[in-house]
Amino acid sequence: MSGNSETDEIRSVEEINEKIKRGDAVVLTAEEMIKLVESSGVEVAAKEVDVVTSGTFGAMCSSGVFLNFGHADPPIKMTKCWLNDVPLYKGLAAVDGYLGATALSETRGFEYGGGHVIEDLVSGKEVELRAESYGTDCYPRRHIETVITIDDLNQAILVNPRNCYQTYDAATNSTDRVIYTYMGTLLPNFGNVTFSGAGQLNPLCKDWNYETLGIGTRIFLGGGTGYIIGEGTQHSPQAGFGTLMVRGDLKQMQSRYLRGASFHRYGVTLYVGVGIPIPIINRRVASTAALKDEDITVTIKDYGVPRRPDLRPVVGKVTYADLRSGKVTIGDKDVPSSSLSSYKMAREISEVLKKWILEGRFFLTKPVEPLPRQRTFKPLKVKRREPKVRDVMRKEVITAQPSDDVKKVARKLVEKGIDHLPVVDENQRLVGIVTSWDLARALANEKAKLSEIMTRKVVTALENESIDVVARRMARHNISGVPVVDEARCVKGIITTDDISKKLVGGRSTI
Amino acid sequence: MKVRLTYSPGVVEKPVLAEVVLKTRLPINILEAKVNAQKGELVVSIPVTGKKLEDVLRMFEKAGVKVQKFTRILHIDYDTCTSCGACISPCPTKALRFGLDWTLEFDEEKCVACRTCVAACPVKAITVL
C-alpha cells in the first residue's frame, strides 16, 4: 500500500464518480463489505472497494413535509389547516404549511396522523384539505374545503430535523404491568427487550468518524434522492448518538420507504428509509464501513421508570448482535429481544442504492461542510419550582393498627371526615390500607378486625416524587388516595386526588 | 388441535371441561381463560386428532358450550408488514420470529390468539380471525 497512515487518501470522490461514469466502480453493501474484510483484511478491501452502501428503516418521529397548496380564488391566508383532520403548522405564509409526522388526527386519535398523511400523499391518494382564516383585504376567504393529491401541490418537500440515529438505547420494563411506549409494547418484570437501529447497516456507524458525510451529501431518502442538510437535532456524536437532518422531494419518493405508523397508546410516527453511500477514501473509513453488529454496543434502559431519558436506570450493556439474536441476558434471566426497525428493509435499501450507483443513476457528492464531531445533548432545566408530593400531601395522618376493631375505626373515619386510613405496625411501617368503602362492607359482613379486611398490597408515593407521576399512578389503579412513605416504608403523609385538585389550580401551585 | 370454547351464562357455572377431562382422561391444556359470572371463554389444546377429536368436541357441544376450531388464527398482510419485529418479543408464546432473510414468520402451532401482536404492530398488518 502507498500510504503509511490510515487516514492517507486512497481515492477521491471525483475519482469514484469517474469510475461510476465508466461503469467500473466497485460497490458493496455494508454486509458484503463486512464479509470481504473478514476474508481478505481491511488493506485489500480498502484498495478494491470504492463505495459501501448503508441503509436503515425505522420510526423517525422528527420528520415532516413542507407543502405549498397554491392559491384558491378568492384567496385565503390559511391560519389553521388540516389534511385528513390532521393539523398542520401554519405559522408560515398564506398557503405554506408544515405537516409533522407525529401530529394526531383530531377525529381518529392514535390510529391516524401526520405520518399516515405523508404515506397517503406519496401513494397518490386523495387527501381532504380544510383551512380557516380571519379574512383580510387581500385574502378575503375565511374557509376552504377541497380534496388534493400530491400532484396538485406546488412543492412537497420532506424536511426531517432528526433522522438516522447512529445507535439507540434498548428498552425493557421492570414494573409489574405492561407499558406502551415509543419503544413498543414492554412486558412486565423484564419480560422483553425492544431496540431500534440497523447496527452494522446504519449509515452513521459506517462512517463512525464523520470523514465522508456532511452538508450536501446525496442520499437515498424514502425511495427518492435527498440530501443531508446538517446535523440532526440532539446530535451527540461522541456518545454514539449522531443524527442527521435531511431533505428530499416527496414527489419522487415511494410509499414502500415512507410508512405511517401507530405505536399503541403512545402516538403516531413515520417509518423512513434512508441509505447513504460511503466513499472509501482511506483505510480508516474502510474499517469503520466494516464494523459489525458485534462491535456496536448500546445500553438497555428501564422504561418502567418514568424519568428523563438519561435518568432511566441502565440494566445492561449489549451489542446489536446480542439484540438481534432474539435473546439477551438481564441479571441472570434470559429475555426475548426484538427490533422495532426493519433489518430486512434496511438491507433492501442498501441493495437498491448499490444498484442505482452501478447503473450510473446516482453519483456521490463531496460535502460542502463536515458534521460536528462534538456536541452535548443537554436536558431541559425546569427553573420554576414545581410542587412535589411533599408540598401537597397532608402530614397529619390518622393511622390504625391491624388489630384494631372495625367499628372503632369506622367511627374514627366519620369523626375526622376522611376516606383513606393507612394501617401501620408498631414501628409506624405501612402494612395495609382501608377505605371508607372497605369499612362499610366489613360492617355489613360483620368482620371484627382490621387485619381481616385491609388491602395489603398498597400503592404508595414518595415525598420527592412529581405530582404528575403520582396522579397518573392513582388514575391507573383507579384509586383516589395513596399513603406517602419513606424508604423504610414508614408513613410520612397521605395524598389524595382532592388534595391535588384543591392545591393545584390550573396546573400551577398556589402554595 | 387448538379450540376456543365459549360458555354462555347458563353453562358458565357447570364444570364442563372437568367432566370431559374425567371422561376422556385426556390432558387438555388451558392456554387462555377469561371467565366471569356472565360468560366464559377458554382456549384449550386437545391432544388428539380425527374421530377422537370430533368425539371430544361433541361432548362440549352437548353440554351447551360453543366450539370453534382454530384453523387459521392469525393473518399477516405481507403487503403491509415491514418485518420490523415490533410484534416478536411481546408475543408470550414465541409464535412470531424472523426467518433467514429477516422476514417475519408465524408459527400457527404456538399461537393462542391473545392479540398482543395486533396492538404491537405499528402498521396494523396483523388481524386475528
Q: Name the CATH code of domain B74-128 (choices 1.10.3720.10, 3.40.47.10, 3.30.70.20, 3.40.50.720).
A: 3.30.70.20
Residue A219 and residue A321 in one domain? yes
How confident is the model at residue A175, as a pLDDT? 94
CB distance B98 to B128 below 8 Å: no
- Can you name the CATH fold of B2-69? Alpha-Beta Plaits (3.30.70)
pLDDT at B22: 93
Kindly give the residue spans of alpha helices, DSSP state H, lying in A179-222: 203-206
Residue B73: the pLDDT is 77
Range of the domain at A457: 389-509
**Conformation bin of residue A505: beta by default, left when phi > 0, alpha when psi is -120 to 50:** beta
Residue A348 falls inside a structural domain: yes
Residue A383 Cα distances to A312, A380, B10, B106, angstroms = 21, 9, 62, 51
Residues A2, A341: Cα–Cα separation, whole Å: 41
Contact across the interface for B90 and A185, Cβ inside 8 Å: yes
Whether residues A190 and A115 share a domain: the answer is no
A257 and A361 housed in the same domain: yes
Set A81, A138, A164, A205: catalytic member: A138
Q: What are the structural domain ranges in chain B?
A: 2-69, 74-128
Alpha-carbon span A375 to A166, nearest angstrom: 14
What is d(CA A18, CA A41) in angstroms, rounded to the nearest whole number?
26
Clarify whether A138 is annotated catalytic: yes
- The cell for A242 is 449522531
- How far is it, in rounded angstroms, from Cα A295 to Cα A315? 19
The total number of structural domains in chain A stands at 3
Name the stretches of chain A with pLDDT < 70. Answer: 1-3, 505-511
- The cell numbers describing A254, all together, are 415511494
Nine cell digits for residue A9: 487518501
User: Which residues, including other chains, have CB under 8 Å from residue B51's CB and lie 6 or more apart?
Assistant: none
Both A113 and A187 in a single domain?
A: no
B88 and chain A in contact, CB less than 8 A: yes
In angstroms, the Cα distances linking A134 to A79, A86, A469, A486 are 8, 20, 40, 56
pLDDT value of residue A505 = 58
Please tell me whether residues A253 and A212 are part of one structural domain.
Answer: yes
Is A399 found in the same domain as A360?
Answer: no
Look at the block and give the residue holding cell 379574512.
A135
Strands ordered across the beta sheet of A27-29: A27-29, A51-53, A277-279
The three cell numbers of residue A22 are 465508466
Q: To the nearest 10°, the Cα dihedral for B77, B79, B84, B88? A: 20
- Whole-number pLDDT of residue A510: 46
Q: Answer yes or no: is pLDDT of B44 > 50.
A: yes
Q: How far is A265 from chain B (nearest CA, A)?
A: 9
A137 & A27 share domain: no
Residue A19 — φ and ψ, nearest 5°? -65, -35
Same domain, A147 and A171: no
**The whole model's pTM is what?**
0.84
From chain A, the residues in CB contact with B83 under 8 A are 342-345
What pLDDT is recorded for position A8? 95
Domain identity same for A272 and A405: no
Instruction: Out of A153, A173, A198, pick the residue that ends a domain.
Output: A153
Q: What is the mean pLDDT of residues B97-122?
A: 92
**Do A350 and A282 reside in the same domain of the chain?**
yes
Does B2-69 match B74-128 in CATH topology? yes
Q: Report yes or no: A10 at the B interface, CB cutoff 8 Å.
A: no
Last residue within a domain, chosen from A135, A153, A171: A153
Residues of chain A contacting residue B98, judged by C-beta atoms under 8 Å apart: 326, 343
The answer to whether residues A393 and A438 belong to one domain is yes
Q: Are residues A114 and A142 in the same domain?
A: yes
In a domain, A401, yes or no: yes
Residues A481/A497, Cβ–Cβ less than 8 Å: yes
User: Residue A68: how many CB atoms within 10 A of its CB?
Assistant: 16
Residue B37 has pLDDT above 90, yes or no: no
Q: Domain holding A490: CATH number?
A: 3.10.580.10
